[in-house]
Structure 1
């Protein structure tokens, strides 16, 4: 598996998160974000045991090539 970092949150106070990655084997995006721990939010979702939920800022949507009219990620 080869992960490619597409972008980090420019507003992150410590520069570590959130982050968008692209998996060039599966063609899927992998998102690193803040854990959702709010019981009220979690109660509104049906989360299977093998999944997790993160919160991801809309200001980072531009890292997804499809949002900007591209057909796939630009890998560097």
Structure 2
């Protein structure tokens, strides 16, 4: 896996989160964000699909969309 840094939230204040990375091997995105722990939000997500123990739901602010679009357009 060869991860390439795309961008970090410039309002993170040195907390290094959230971030967007791209795996140049297979084109997948690697996202670092805040883990969603709100039970109501998780219940809404699980109405659509189960959440295995091997997965986490993360939240990225809308200001990270340009980084995601940049990673997807390459």
TM-score under structure 1 length normalisation: 0.80
Q: How many residues align?
A: 69
CA displacement 1:13-71 (0-9 Å, x = unmatched): 2241000000011111110000101111011112233321000011011112277xxx3
Answer 1 or 2: higher relative contact order, Cα 8 Å, separation at least 6. Answer: 2
Larger helix fraction of residues = 2
Match of 1:51 in 2: 55
Q: Which structure 1 residue ranges, 4+ long, deviate > 3 Å from structure 2?
A: none
Q: Which runs of 5+ in 2 are unaligned?
A: none
Cα distance change of structure 1 residues 42 and 5 upon mapping to structure 2, 3 Å threshold: same
RMSD: 1.6
